[in-house]
Amino acid sequence: MRLLSFNKMGKHAIGILKQNTNTIVDLSLADPSLPTDMNNFIDLGSEAIELVERIVKNSNENIEKKLSEIQLLSPIPVPRRNIFCVGRNYYEHAKEFHNSGFDATAGKSAVPDDPIIFTKATTSMSGPFDPIPSYYDTSNSTDYEGELAVIIGTDGRDIKKNDAFDFVYGYSVSNDVTARNMQHKHKQWFLGKSLDGYYPMGPVIVTSDEAGHPDNFHLKTLVNGEERQNSSVADLIFDIPTLIECISSCITLKKGDIIATGTPVGVGIGYEPPIFLNKGDVVEVEIDPIGSIRNTVE
């Protein structure tokens, strides 16, 4: 199932994108007793997914809307907690970042021995087609990082790798937008990665039953139509079960948590000299089979 959030007269609403169409089912019209906030919907677990599958099967035009008629929000417009993120998690990107001089935490080796976990503030979240507000970046060094986002569906602590996929609710597309000079200057990456609006996500959450194994996902990032990143998600250094085991060994993972799994080679600081984003640039991140987000730099 493909879940999305949209703006309904200033409030959040949940829609289901119908398979191979540009039509959504507006859940608030189909069953007003269902939550309108995605966190509350995820709380209801697989029962709600099964209920909604029945609604979609029997839907009619009275509860449907054209995708072109709604304003999409991030599928989780207001995360309950910071977004968990992973640094240097694709081999070739680890090398390009290591060699760029922008990694103030760099050790001797480009490839980390253990996952590098940091977070982005909840207020960095933005919609799949929202502008990137680079005017907040006084260091003029805004860069893109196309990333697969994993959404947690079950609370868990000390989750073992073998069980990890049982805790995954679904997947989305995201861009871990980063102000590079701030990332470097403040040593910890939090500030440079947490500017307001620096985490566009969407357009949908594909639930794990429909998405299949993420090793089969493929990520591409384009800037003004030019391909910059092109990688299989199978090339992650620390795969999704390893990340879930690692994080949950320290912190209880909660329903609705988001893990941005890291970015492949091809970011702006990988170029010599670095190519940062400029006002008017259009950044698209596409993950097959989820969809794509497109954000214009303002």
Q: How far is CA 10 from the centre of its chain?
A: 23
The stretch near Mg ion (CB under 5 A) out of 58-66, 92-100, 255-263, 277-285 is 255-263
Counting contacts by CB under 5 A, is residue 286 touching Mg ion? no
Grouping H, G, I as helix, E, B as strand and the rest as coil, residue 225 is: coil
Enumerate residues 6+ apart whose C-beta is below 8 A from 189: 87, 105, 118, 178, 183
Q: Please, which residue, 234 or 252, has the CB nearer to Mg ion?
A: 234
Size of the site for Mg ion (CB under 5 A): 3
Read off the amino acid at residue 124: S
Q: Using CA atoms, how far apart are residues 174 and 63, in angstroms rounded to an integer?
A: 29
Over the window 175 to 214, marking each residue x when it contacts Mg ion by CB under 5 A and - when it does not, the resulting string is -x--------------------------------------
The stretch near Mg ion (CB under 5 A) out of 128-136, 179-187, 263-271, 277-285 is 263-271
Q: Which of 212, 124, 133 is nearest to 174 (CA)?
A: 124
Read off the amino acid at residue 140: N
State the minimum distance, in angstroms, from the CB of residue 101 to Mg ion. Answer: 17
Kindly report the backbone phi and psi dihedral angles of residue 278, in degrees, each rounded to the nearest multiple of 5, phi listed first: -115, 160
State the minimum distance, in angstroms, from the CB of residue 182 to Mg ion. Answer: 14
Neighbours of 96 (CB within 10 A): 20
Buried b (16+ CB within 10 A) or exposed e, 137-163: beeebbbbbbbbbbbbbbebeebeeee
Q: Please, which residue, 64 or 143, has the CB nearer to Mg ion?
A: 143
Q: Please, which residue, 82 or 263, has the CB nearer to Mg ion?
A: 263
* Pairing verdict, β 178-179 and 168-175: unpaired
The stretch near Mg ion (CB under 5 A) out of 53-61, 143-151, 197-205, 219-227 is 143-151
Q: Please, which residue, 71 or 271, has the CB nearer to Mg ion?
A: 271
For residue 54, what is the enclosing H or E element?
Answer: helix 45-57
Counting contacts by CB under 5 A, is residue 96 touching Mg ion? no
Which of 142, 263, 292, 295 is the binder for Mg ion (CB under 5 A)? 263
Question: On the CB side of 31, how many CA atoms lie within 13 Å of its CA?
Answer: 14
Q: Please, which residue, 194 or 263, has the CB nearer to Mg ion?
A: 263
Counting contacts by CB under 5 A, is residue 145 touching Mg ion? yes
Q: Using CA atoms, how far apart are residues 272 and 201, in angstroms rounded to an integer?
A: 29
State the minimum distance, in angstroms, from the CB of residue 116 to Mg ion. Answer: 10
The stretch near Mg ion (CB under 5 A) out of 24-32, 36-44, 144-152, 282-290 is 144-152
The stretch near Mg ion (CB under 5 A) out of 7-15, 172-180, 199-207, 228-236 is 172-180
User: Which residues contribute to the site for Mg ion (CB under 5 A)?
Assistant: 145, 176, 263
